[in-house]
Amino acid sequence: MNVTQPDVLRVRPHRIRLVCWVAAALVVIVFTAVATSLRGPIGEGAATFQAGDQWAMIGLGVLLALGVLSLTRPRVIADTRHIRIRNVVGGYDLPWEVVRAVRFERGAPWVTLELQDDDIVAVMAVQAADKDRAVAAVQALRALLDASRAAANG
């Protein structure tokens, strides 16, 4: 959890970012190692690998690593007026007036917002794997929701 302004909350997942960066580095290393081991004919009737094939293999490793890093995309920016959610795919910019509750169910992988129209919005930036950070983020989100309601009521 990173609070940069008094009433602005910025949250990104912590543990999954660490895991993804390590995994992305390992993917590039493995694909590079495989690419450098692909040299010339291996046996009779075996395929011949050229420098272009090796570079293509490294390029595939980089593309896969970028795919892994896309899992680090989630984040939340919230203040007393609205909440901006960016998940792995897609995002939301919601005023607090449409949010009924901030929910963090036991066993759930991440926080959800229950909206006034009974829709549920996933907040993947606040993940259960982050434990105390996630609890602090939920408390901060609930405080912002309460502050928004108080401001709307007078």
For position 5, what pLDDT does the model report?
A: 45
Run means of pLDDT, 10 residues per run, the chain, 154 residues: 63 93 96 84 63 89 95 93 93 93 92 93 93 93 91 78
CB neighbour burial string for 121-130, b if at least 16 within 10 angstroms, e if fewer: bbbbbbbbeb
SS3 1: coil
For position 3, what pLDDT does the model report?
A: 42
For position 47, what pLDDT does the model report?
A: 65
Query: Minimal CA–CA distance to 87: which of 60, 64, 55, 120?
Result: 120
2 pairs with which residues across the strands? Answer: 10
26 pairs with which residues across the strands? Answer: none
CB neighbour burial string for 60-93, b if at least 16 within 10 angstroms, e if fewer: ebeebbeebbebbbbbbbbbbebbebbbeeeebe
